[in-house]
Amino acid sequence: MSAAGAILRKALLRAANSQGLGRLVRRHGMRLGASRWVAGETLAEVDEVLRRINAHGLGAATALFDASVSGQAEAQAQVREYQAAIRHIAAAGLDAYVGIKLSHLGLGFDDRDAAFENTAAIVRDAAANGQFVRIEMEQSRHVEDTLAVYRRLRQRGLDNCGLVLQSYVRRSEADLDRLLPLTPNVRLVKGAYLEPANVAYPDKRDTDAAYMRMLETALRSSSFTAIATHDDTLIAYAIRLACDLQIPPERIAFEMLYGVRERAQRELAHRGYRVIVAAPYGPDWFPYLTRRLAERPANLAFFLRNAIRG
């Protein structure tokens, strides 16, 4: 990424925290092009998108967008929303799973026990419905507690859950090594948040190199590896590596985001790989949108062109 691109990325990721801008964009943004990446604001809206994804022969994942949750009553409302999504997926027979954010469930208000109990309630409910749940990874301040919750779940025998590791976070390689005795189901991503250089690699090349190393470790030793990237070089590398290591196809999937590189998603599926498209939903989609715009300046240009045409 160029120096100008890096500055733009930082500015956009900072803008993700602006409540005023968020309100403004939320009011008009769907009409102006946000719907290309934002699957919907409600479960009913995302249901249509998940069905369309499945109709193309692709698996799906959904999740709730970032939400500011400041106490247990709000966290329990999030638990109910996640459970509704899980039960809906099971009842409708969709090929989909739910991702959850622990900041919604207790970590956002520094209550680790609440985060564990709320997460366990969701994972148990998912197990009763024959479903898998993935714990997503958020800002680096939540990494330690997120890993601790995952470990506790596994110690309690709740095995229908997996997690996400971000290759831009310097500690992630060591975290993956420490998780291996649990043979985790892991999604590898580069990482989407604005982090200081002592926590996350500022240079994309370091992030990509770490991704490749972590991919090899995960393929060799995890129960399942979700290769979540739109990066052609990493996808080609993963295909070669999985072939060299003779990883059975049922132990990997390529995961991409709704609205991003749809042709590549379908091409991979045509080549016989399992592809899962992640389509989160909820009313608070502005920070998610800014992260997608930050990843690719052309996306920002698309959005601004629509806004100007109005």
> How do beta strands 133-135 and 96-100 pair?
parallel
Judged by CB under 6 A, which stretch of 25-33, 64-72, 288-296, 302-310 contacts ligand FDA?
A: 288-296
Q: Do 69 and 60 form a contact (C-beta atoms < 8 A)?
A: no
CA distance 180 to 45: 38
Q: Which is nearer to ligand FDA, 72 or 266 (CB)?
A: 266
Selected binder of ligand FDA within 22, 29, 184, 191 (CB under 6 A): 191
* Position 255 contacts ligand FDA (CB under 6 A): yes
Helices 3-15 & 297-309 angle (0-180, nearest 10): 60
Interface with ligand FDA: number of residues (CB under 6 A): 23
Dihedrals phi, psi of 283, to nearest 5 degrees? -75, -25
Judged by CB under 6 A, which stretch of 9-17, 105-113, 142-150, 295-303 contacts ligand FDA?
A: 295-303
* Position 278 contacts ligand FDA (CB under 6 A): yes
CB of 221 to ligand FDA, least distance (A): 21
Judged by CB under 6 A, which stretch of 64-72, 74-82, 121-129, 191-199 contacts ligand FDA?
A: 191-199
Which amino acid is it at 140?
S
CB of 73 to ligand FDA, least distance (A): 25
CB of 36 to ligand FDA, least distance (A): 9
* Position 164 contacts ligand FDA (CB under 6 A): yes
Selected binder of ligand FDA within 229, 237, 253, 289 (CB under 6 A): 229
Selected binder of ligand FDA within 147, 190, 215, 219 (CB under 6 A): 190
Dump strand ranges (E) for 68-171: 96-100, 133-135, 161-166
Which amino acid is it at 295?
E
Dump strand ranges (E) for the chain: 59-63, 96-100, 133-135, 161-166, 185-189, 224-228, 252-257, 275-278
What secondary structure letter does DSSP report for 300? H
Listed in sequence order, the residues at least 6 apart from 142 whose beta carbon sits closer than 8 Å to its beta carbon are 102, 103, 107
Tokens of 63: 């999740």
Tokens of 11: 């500015």
Which amino acid is it at 297?
P
Selected binder of ligand FDA within 51, 52, 230, 266 (CB under 6 A): 230
Which residues of this protein are in contact with ligand FDA, per CB under 6 A? Answer: 136-137, 164, 166, 189-193, 228-231, 255-257, 260-261, 278, 292, 295-296, 299
